[in-house]
Amino acid sequence: MERMLNRFLPFLPALAATVLSAAFSACDSRSATDTGSPPFVPENGATDPAAVEPGAAAVAKVPGVPSPLAGAPVPDSLHLLSPGQAGRLRLGMREEQIKKVVPASLLRATTYTDNGKQLPAYEMRDAQQPTAPPTILHLIGDSSAGFRLRRIRIYDSQYRTAEGIGVGSPFGAARQNLGLTRVRPTPAGFAAVSGEVKMAWVIDPNSLPAKHPEEMNSADIPPAARITGVLLYQ
C-alpha cells in the first residue's frame, strides 16, 4: 500500500489544480446566470456601451423643472416668460441691445409717465401674429447715460410660462403654480404680485369682488378669474 501511494504522490498537485479550476468555473457560470438583467439597459435596447450612440439614451427629467398644465399652450422660445425675461428681451437691456434683437419695423416709439416725468417706451408688434396686442416696453434712464429696459407689459396670449400660464389663463392656475404673494394695484392694473420672481398677473376687473380693498389676499380672488396681462418689472 505504501508503495502504491508513493506512486501517485507526484500526480496529486496536478489533480488538485484540475479539481479547483472546475469548481471556480462552475461558480462563475452560476454568477453570470443568477444576476438577471444587466444593471443598465438603454431604451434602445443596446447593452454594449460601445454600441450606444451619444444622445441615444433618454435623459431623465431634471427635478424642479415645471411641467405644462394639462391642455395649456406650450410657448416657443420667442414667447417664453421667465423671471426678468420675455423671449429674447431681458430686463436691464440697453436700448441699443433691444434694437439688435427686435427689427425696427416691429417697434413704435412712444412714451409713458412715471411720477410726473415722461420717459421713452416702445410698442412692440409680433412678427408671427401682427394682429396680436402689442407688448409695451418701458425704459428708464436719461439721454446722457442712455436708457435701459425697466418693465415689460404683455397682453399677447402667445407669451406663457413654462407651465403654460399667460394671458387668458384662470387665476387659480397662477396661484397654484407661481407662488403669488399679494394682490394690489400696479402700473398695469390690479394684479397679483410674485415678489420672488418680479412678475405680476393683471386680473380682469370684472371678475373681482365689488368694492374690493386696495390690497387683497390671493385666496380671496375667484379661481376662475381671468388673467388679462403680465407685468415683468425690476
Of 31-40, 122-131, 217-226, where does mean pLDDT reach its minimum? Answer: 31-40
d(Cα 74, Cα 90) in Å, to the nearest integer?
Answer: 20
Mean pLDDT rounded to a whole number for the chain: 75
Amino acid 49: pLDDT: 33
For residue 166, the model assigns a pLDDT of 93
Region of poorest pLDDT, from 63-77, 88-102, 127-141, 171-185: 63-77
Q: What pLDDT shows up at residue 87?
A: 95
Residue 12 pLDDT > 80: no
- Reported as a pLDDT band with limits 50, 70 and 90, residue 214 is confident
- Domains of the chain, CATH where assigned: 75-234 (2.60.460.10)
Which among 148, 150, 108, 138 has a CA at the least distance from the CA of 125?
108
pTM equals: 0.67
168 touches 226 (CB < 8 A):
yes
Higher pLDDT, 34 or 220: 220
pLDDT value of residue 127: 92
